[in-house]
Amino acid sequence: MELTWTTKQKMMQKLVRQFAEKHIQPHISNMEETETFPLELMEEMSKLGFMGIPIPTNLGGVGADFISYIIALEEISRVSATVGVILAVHTSVATMPILNYGNEKQKIKYVNDLCRGRKIGAFALTEPQAGSDVSKIQTRAVREKDRYVLTGNKVFITNSEVAEVYIVFAVTDPSMGTRGISAFIVEKDTPGFTFGKKEKKMGLNGSSTGELIFDQAKIPVSQLLGKEDQGYEIALAHLAGGRIGIGAQALGIAKSALEHSVQYVKHRQQFGKPLANMQAVQMKLADMATMVEAARLLVYRAASYKQEGKACRQEASMAKMFASDVAMKVTTEAIQIFGENGYLRDYPMERLFRDAKVTQIYEGTNEIQRLVVAGTLT
């Protein structure tokens, strides 16, 4: 099986790669050193439609297919995993839920602005006691006439205080477990909604990750996404696409590490000859290339299932799990190939290594992905 792109998909790949190398690459040093969110860069991406690649044109998107979106995530993450995750969260789990479950008024009000980059989106599910176990969500939403009152905290939220539109999950019926969770579209300026701790992370230093605090925040009933108690369904429906997106991010990281390694060994000499001529190095590169190609096949297989409207829970989990494991293995080997230089910030390896680790953790840890896959087999 060979991956072949349509003409439009090839154009997307070329456009995004050129943009990433010309416009994203120069921002990396500043993002790493100052941990500053690349707002100006996101505005540049918006002008090219990158903030709404798989969204229909009548709602302000590009109208491209899901595979084109995954191609874009891979190419962006190949240069910067930070920008890759900002875009992935904004699109996969912030914009898509409104597109798929929102009513017409919600779509018109929010999707157009999100696609055009006028607003950035975020997804708020995780809590201090509710990570992999969604049933432990404690944020409550109590109906009071024409509004809901939200109280609780969300943590590890990507795009945190930078976003303006949040998909927030809260318990509306405690007696129903996960079936009593609802989803809400919450705007940044909502009274009672504030921001807590901003996390200092190992990697993805330009992305904003932080805590959301809801202290009797008043949410109009019109902001309920889907039906009451439908939140868990909404979350699950979009986590598969989100996991494929993280798989693409991990693939981009691994691909970058491999490419940098190949270039390095051609020029770095030891014992009077290039590292590329040493059999031990050749074996490492062969293993790295094989793992990257295997990850690519899994990621795009899952993407093709998603695009065709097929159930892809197993495929998405396999892709995310395997690609993120590959990203860690390949970046680890790349640092070994670079030797001391791989440990220095003057070279990209240590950044790629740090960025790779979180792909094994967020959007569902790889342990959870293995349980998902096992559950589909038994």
Closest CA to 74 of 53, 48, 60, 100: 53
Give me the phi and psi of 219, to 5 degrees please: -115, 120
219 strand-pairing partners: 148
Closest CA to 357 of 250, 251, 257, 261: 250
- Segment 336-341 long-range contacts (CB within 8 Å, at least 24 positions apart): 336/284, 337/261, 337/264, 337/265, 337/275, 337/281, 337/284, 337/285, 338/261, 338/264, 341/264
> Dihedral of CA 123/129/134/136: which sign?
negative
Is the distance from CB of 72 to CB of 128 less than 8 angstroms?
Answer: no
- Write down the catalytic residue from 35, 161, 363, 367: 363
Residue 77, C-beta contacts closer than 8 angstroms, at least 6 positions apart: 83, 84, 85, 248, 249, 250, 251, 252, 253, 256
Closest CA to 147 of 212, 79, 98, 216: 216
CA 246 to chain centre: 5
Closest CA to 285 of 268, 271, 301, 298: 268
Which two structure tokens, joined as six digits, stand for 143? 């109906």
CA distance 168 to 125: 6
- Within 10 angstroms of residue 311's Cβ, the number of other Cβ atoms is 11
Is the distance from CB of 16 to CB of 50 less than 8 angstroms?
Answer: yes
Which two structure tokens, joined as six digits, stand for 254? 């691994």
Closest CA to 95 of 163, 155, 37: 163
CA distance 170 to 152: 8
Closest CA to 161 of 223, 209, 90, 103: 209
CA 23 to chain centre: 20
Q: Is 144 a catalytic residue?
A: no
Residue 8, C-beta contacts closer than 8 angstroms, at least 6 positions apart: 64, 68
As annotated, the active-site residues are: 363
